Structure 1
């Protein structure tokens, strides 16, 4: 097997879209949607061209390509990070511990989609060369970390198969929790409700009725139905939510100004009252999953958040045959709406041997706690007892 030659670029603009997507979403080149809309060249390059990532943001793009005999085999969305913001797999405690011990945690290497806690392939490969690509990328990350004297390299929200490849290359496997809704072959929303206990079923029907009585209309838009005014409304909602959650929004207005290019990949659920948009949820559509991303509102109405973000997402996923809905990071309130605790994977290479041992011990304890929590959450699910493990 020809050894892989790694090349690191300083911008996504230095790579051709065809090259990147041949590894990032080869399934889309044969027609249809990519598995992961966030891994496409158009999404990552839009983050950069809009100034959402790049100098001054703490996310410096360093996309990685690996070739064999001048043939592109693998790619990874690599960044140099100056902080741990916008990642959603939290390592702030690790940074504090290393720096208290006299070390330096930042900068670090990060393979991720910025500001996007959605599971997907991170060790991208030309079809048929997945094992070779994973090994090559992980080896390159380890070499880069050691040669540049960085503290660590991280691969977040990767697939379970990618996570399984990590330990052979010195990467620690971390397990965390998100809440995902799984489609069990439902033909309509009422089929989903039929799997719930009677009390939970009545509660969700009451919640949906309360939300839909907010005094306006709710519309679901995708593709050519989405107009600039809808993106402008989403920007206002996102700006308000971002300012309250993070101090400042991660995405710039320029990202929203040019977001019409994403219309084929996007599902918007918007609420309008008295002639103006008052709330909305933004989802991205993958081949198998619907990914809930942003929510915001300029008016407060009972249960409207649950209707726009969770119930309408389930409606749409069922109608379009998607396998699951990933509703973003955190939020035990999702459990009552049928989103169950689900394992999320990441990989971490720690350069310092002593610090690596300490992190490994922590992750083993955390892993046991996560698995126990997932089991406990299953007992709290809204599903009937005979359906809770189905």
Structure 2
């Protein structure tokens, strides 16, 4: 990313008031991942970004692309495909991954102003894989339009489910609670009360100049605790957060829970043009319902206060449904070079899409909203 002018890269992504709508596609975010060493050759994320220029040499397209030696940090799981191909005598790795590393957030992946340029990027990725005997190319958390475009180019499409909260013009959290059934209103109020009042905790929102190195030290302690319990080693290192804070602190939001002056838990989110993206959580003390308070309810409070239409609460987690977060479809697209593997994967993803659709129909029946209320 350091070899690509930031203004040129960012100009290819959707913008509002001079800022990239989706902060994870901002050149500064991707640069911080690389400069910190979080996304690097050493961690199995070797940058291979594609750039598309017209006949005048003007950059008209770009794709965030990485050569990968594993399938970690993607949140779209293809380990089964890799194992099957290996057992059949094939070499699944290395593969090419078009993504924002460690980030299960939908956004543009084929950065260009028109579909012809996006298609050229798709074809170039295929050519790069074919010429270098690379098994596959994957683009994860693509937009619906990009998924349709890739499907038209012969790529396979996968679906999965996340949970997003939608702001229907609420003026307060109580206004939002009015859309829930009586039982869910009572449960939500009790969870919020038990999370904070029982231990006398307070919550602060921190962004911009609030994000001192001391604050980041504390958050990193939270982040490491959750990472070590979930997957053994956190993907992001301490330097990443400092670099990100230096570059785009106004688009970062930390929410800390304090016992007096001592922070005991915190969340990390990014602020987009029209939504809040919840990413990481951690705590040094186990407090009932504090996870729900910081990750879900405080995020709703922030979105209402700042008139953001959507909160994306990260990957997976059916428990989010009862807290007002509705099912949303995510998409990924896949080019498989080997015909036999492609046929097997094609059958799998077709069955998977049908299963996801049925599951979402079931989940809609268990939303906490009063009958007939929008969400």
Aligned position for 1:13: 2
Aligned pairs for 1:125-136 (under 5 A) are 125=112, 129-136=113-120
How far off is 1:101 after superposition? 0.9
1:140 to 124, 128, 145: 124
1 CA distance for matches of 2:172 and 2:145?
A: 32
Aligned position for 1:67: 53
Aligned pairs for 1:235-384 (under 5 A) are 235-261=220-246, 262-384=248-370
SS at match of 1:295: strand
Contact 2:28 2:244 in 1 (8 A): no
Contact 2:137 2:336 in 1 (8 A): yes
1 CA distance for matches of 2:148 and 2:41?
A: 33
How far off is 1:215 after superposition? 2.4
Structure 2 gaps, min length 5: none
Aligned pairs for 1:68-147 (under 5 A) are 68-69=54-55, 70-125=57-112, 129-147=113-131
Contact 1:87 1:116 in 2 (8 A): yes
**How many residues are aligned here?**
372
Structure 1 gaps, min length 5: 1-11
SS at match of 1:341: strand
Aligned pairs for 1:27-66 (under 5 A) are 27-28=15-16, 30-31=17-18, 33-66=19-52
Q: TM-score, normalised by structure 2?
A: 0.97
SS at match of 2:21: coil
Contact 1:124 1:130 in 2 (8 A): no
Cα offsets for 1:359-379 (capped at 9, x unmatched): 111111000000000010000
Cα offsets for 1:209-250 (capped at 9, x unmatched): 111213222111222233222211111111111111111111
Aligned pairs for 1:155-234 (under 5 A) are 155-213=139-197, 214-234=199-219
Contact 2:29 2:244 in 1 (8 A): no
* Cα RMSD (Å): 1.2
